[in-house]
C-alpha cells in the first residue's frame, strides 16, 4: 500500500500478502520486513504515485474500485500478455508470459548475479536454502524468460490504465 512506501529511505514495509482480492498475512514471519526499493522499481512507482495524485494510502496496484487491489492474474491477461503479443507481432517472435513464479526466479537470479546468496534470500524473503534451491537459476537457462520479462515489464508502466 502507498502508506508502506517510505520514499525518503527507498524502502517498502512488507506486512501483508494479497492474492486475487484476498488480503492476509505473509506466509512466514521472515516475510514481514523492510524491502529496499531499487532505482528500477522507484522509476515504476513514482510516476504511478503521481498519476494517482500522490495518495497517502490505498493500494499501489488498485483495482477499478480503489479500495480493492488489482487481481494480478487479470492484469497479466489484460496488460502483460497483450504487450507480449504486440512485441511478437512487431518482432515476429513467439514470447509467452512465463508467469509470476518465473518473474520471481528471474529477480532472484538477477540479484544473485550482482551480490551474494544472503542478499538474494533477503530480497526474496526466503531462507538461503529456499532461495538457492527454488529461485536462483543459471543465467544461461533464462534468456527467453529475460526477454519476456523485460518486454512485459515495459508494459507495466501502463498498469494504471489497465487498472481503471
Domain count, the chain: 1
In degrees and rounded to multiples of 5, residue 50 shows phi and psi of -65, -40
Q: pLDDT, tens digit, for every residue of 8-29?
A: 999 999 999 988 888 999 888 8
In degrees and rounded to multiples of 5, residue 161 shows phi and psi of -60, -40
pLDDT at 148 over 70: no
Question: What would the mean pLDDT of 53-77 be, rounded to a whole number?
Answer: 86
Q: Is the dihedral of CA 99, 152, 22, 125 positive or negative?
A: positive
Expressed as residue numbers, the domain containing 19 is 2-163
Interior/surface letters 74-105, b for 16+ CB within 10 angstroms, e for the rest: ebbebbbbbbbeebeeeeeeebebbeeebbeb
pTM for the full predicted model: 0.68
Amino acid at each position: 500500500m502507498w502508506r508502506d512506501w517510505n520514499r525518503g529511505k527507498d524502502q517498502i514495509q512488507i506486512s501483508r500478502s494479497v492474492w486475487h482480492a484476498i488480503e492476509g498475512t505473509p506466509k512466514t514471519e521472515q516475510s514481514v520486513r523492510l524491502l529496499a526499493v531499487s532505482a528500477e522499481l522507484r522509476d515504476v512507482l513514482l510516476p504511478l504515485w503521481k498519476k494517482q495524485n500522490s495518495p497517502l494510502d490505498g493500494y499501489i496496484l488498485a483495482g477499478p474500485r480503489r479500495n480493492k487491489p488489482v487481481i494480478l492474474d487479470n492484469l497479466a491477461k489484460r496488460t502483460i500478455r497483450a504487450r507480449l503479443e504486440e512485441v511478437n507481432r512487431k518482432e515476429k517472435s513467439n514470447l509467452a508470459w512465463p508467469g509470476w513464479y518465473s518473474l520471481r526466479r528471474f529477480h532472484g537470479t538477477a540479484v544473485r548475479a550482482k551480490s551474494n546468496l544472503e542478499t538474494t534470500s533477503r530480497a526474496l524473503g526466503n531462507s538461503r536454502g529456499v532461495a538457492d534451491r527454488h529461485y536462483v537459476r543459471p543465467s544461461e537457462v533464462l534468456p527467453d524468460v529475460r526477454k519476456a520479462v523485460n518486454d512485459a515489464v515495459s508494459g507495466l508502466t501502463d498498469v494504471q490504465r489497465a487498472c481503471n
